[in-house]
Amino acid sequence: MKLASKLLVAVLLVVFTAMPALAEKTIKWKLAMTWPSTLTPLASPPIKLAEMVEKMSGGKFLIKVEGKEKHKAALGILDMVKGGQYQMGHSASYYWKGKDMSMVFFTTVPFGMNAEEQYAWFYYDEGMKLMEKAYDKFKVLSFPGGNTGVQMGGWFRKEIKSLDDLKGLKMRIPGLAGEVFAKLGVNVTNIPAGELYTSLDRGTIDALEWVGPGMDIKMGFHKIAPYYYTGWHEPASEMQFLINKRAYAKLPPEYQEMLQVAMKATAADMFSENFGASANAWAKMKTEYPNIKVKTFPTPVLKAMKKATDELLNGYAAKDPQFKTILDSQRAFMKKARAWTLISEYNYIKTSEELEK
């Protein structure tokens, strides 16, 4: 071969090996989420993730996001991702506690870590490793997908002055917190989101919890139940991205990396979006409804909640080695994290607020 031809072959080789991504065909995925597409900020991470991935891949990796209004299976996300009908999902891990009680730890537990502490547990302690192991049996990967921060304890029509006031109270409060309240004599019910306002208005229930001002304001509960209790039960509810393991393994590594980056970015973004929405909504609520009374449950009530929470957690741990491993990991990390939170964030807020008085 002549030198010129040799050079041409060499150049072509370099060009073709440098552009394999361009030669690939478009990858199309579907993502199902528990929420309706309009329910921000919960629906924000998957919607923003799809936009990011499309841009980062130059339009080669497309993820179609479908809300509850489309697939009609809000609590079927894990099954649909496991089965491969959807390559991805967005939901909350504690919805799968019926399949495996340990799933609650990857969302939040009553009196558990706050969002900063919990994110450190996920990313810089044992959280991710333990979550991967727990989800392995479903053949799906699970990643943090956005945090609500501390949720409010809920809207009550009457003030809770003692443990006796909880006896027979009808309240919508799901998850482990519902089990805690049931132990304290509360008549716990779960009512679909669309019926909550009417149920509270008509007295079918006496109280309910939702999220925090940013999401609560749209529901209008503050117009009919004046007591707004501070949080204890969902101190850092983490949403969750799910990915079908086989689908993920088939992705080119650069697309896997795009997903990893976009999941982490949109999770952090939801935390900020919800914080901002709550700050603005709370300012508006306070002005427009000055009768709202922010209350913290009396100490004997909180002590009883804490005792019931520990009894429940220890009870599940005694029966389930995986539950115990994750509980021990969270407790051990929380002990260190809380000691740091107390002399850093907490102390800063406390001391700087005292100066304003």
Q: Which is nearer to Ca ion, 82 or 172 (CB)?
A: 172
CB of 210 to Ca ion, least distance (A): 6
CB of 131 to Ca ion, least distance (A): 21
**Ranges within 150-169 binding Ca ion (CB under 5 A):** 151
> Which of the stretches 64-72, 177-185, 230-238, 348-356 binds Ca ion when contact is defined by CB under 5 A?
230-238
CB of 292 to Ca ion, least distance (A): 18
Q: Confirm if 287 and 213 have CB atoms less than 8 A apart.
A: no
> Which of the stretches 18-26, 134-142, 231-239, 308-316 binds Ca ion when contact is defined by CB under 5 A?
231-239
CB of 237 to Ca ion, least distance (A): 7
How far is residue 274's CA from residue 269's CA, in Å, rounded to a whole number? 9
Of 13, 11, 138, 151, the residue nearest 79 (C-alpha): 138
Phi, psi of 157 (to 5 degrees): -75, -30
How big is the site for Ca ion, counted in residues (CB under 5 A)?
2
How far is residue 90's CA from residue 70's CA, in Å, rounded to a whole number? 14
Q: Which is nearer to Ca ion, 40 or 151 (CB)?
A: 151
> Which of the stretches 145-153, 177-185, 199-207, 279-287 binds Ca ion when contact is defined by CB under 5 A?
145-153
Q: Confirm if 327 and 315 have CB atoms less than 8 A apart.
A: no
Q: Confirm if 117 and 149 have CB atoms less than 8 A apart.
A: no
> Which of the stretches 41-49, 147-155, 183-191, 330-338 binds Ca ion when contact is defined by CB under 5 A?
147-155
CB of 279 to Ca ion, least distance (A): 18
* Per-residue binder mask for Ca ion (CB under 5 A), 234-253, x = binder: x-------------------
> Which of the stretches 104-112, 227-235, 276-284, 310-318 binds Ca ion when contact is defined by CB under 5 A?
227-235
Tokens representing 192? 């679909």
* Per-residue binder mask for Ca ion (CB under 5 A), 57-96, x = binder: ----------------------------------------
Tokens representing 163? 């443990």
Strand-pair partners of 238: 147
Contacts of 242 by beta carbon, 8 Å cutoff, 6+ apart: 77, 78, 81, 88, 89, 90, 91, 135, 140, 141, 142
Q: Which is nearer to Ca ion, 150 or 312 (CB)?
A: 150
CB of 209 to Ca ion, least distance (A): 5
CB of 105 to Ca ion, least distance (A): 16
> Which of the stretches 139-147, 184-192, 233-241, 278-286 binds Ca ion when contact is defined by CB under 5 A?
233-241
How far is residue 176's CA from residue 104's CA, in Å, rounded to a whole number? 8
Q: Reduce the DSSP state of residue 241 to 3 states and report it.
A: strand
Q: Reduce the DSSP state of residue 239 to 3 states and report it.
A: strand
How far is residue 346's CA from residue 253's CA, in Å, rounded to a whole number? 41
Q: What is the three-state SS of 48-65?
A: HHHHHHHHHCCCCEEEEE
CB of 234 to Ca ion, least distance (A): 5
Tokens representing 309? 């929470």
| Residues of the shown chain interacting with Ca ion in the complex, contacts defined by CB under 5 A | 151, 234
